[in-house]
Amino acid sequence: DAKTTQPTSMDCAEGRAANLPCNHSTISGNEYVYWYRQIHSQGPQYIIHGLKNNETNEMASLIITEDRKSSTLILPHATLRDTAVYYCIVTGTYKYIFGTGTRLKVLA
């Protein structure tokens, strides 16, 4: 599975868009990009995933670059409840490898 690189932490003002980057320069053709988030002392929650195209759902948007070597998770209007650790995972199988993620803090 491809390795991912994410910033350790980020801050975002409440109501603004939160843009969380992820580098996955060694991604291969059949590997998907997944995003999960983990609020303190809870199980991770699925947010969104994609292969090549940009994706949007009720929680977030996922922008994948054309060469697929990086992606950005966008939370369009961050709220205090979005404060969490966000994990970017790249996988071609059902088996995940988690890094340490990005700790997003939404500020009032």
Partner 1 sequence: DGGITQSPKYLFRKEGQNVTLSCEQNLNHDAMYWYRQDPGQGLRLIYYSQIVNDFQKGDIAEGYSVSREKKESFPLTVTSAQKNPTAFYLCASSIYGRSANYGYTFGSGTRLTVV
**Inter-residue contact 18 to 72 (CB < 8 Å):** no
Question: According to CB under 8 A, which residues from 72 to 101 bind partner 1?
Answer: 87, 91-101
Site mask for partner 1 (CB under 8 A), range 29-68, x = bound = -xxx-x-x----xxxxxx--x-x-----------------
Q: With binding defined as CB under 8 A, does residue 28 bind partner 1?
A: no
DSSP string, 60-98: -EEEE-TTSSEEEEEETT--GGG-EEEEEEEESSS----
Total interface residues for partner 1 by CB under 8 A:
25
Closer by beta carbon to partner 1, 2 or else 18? 2
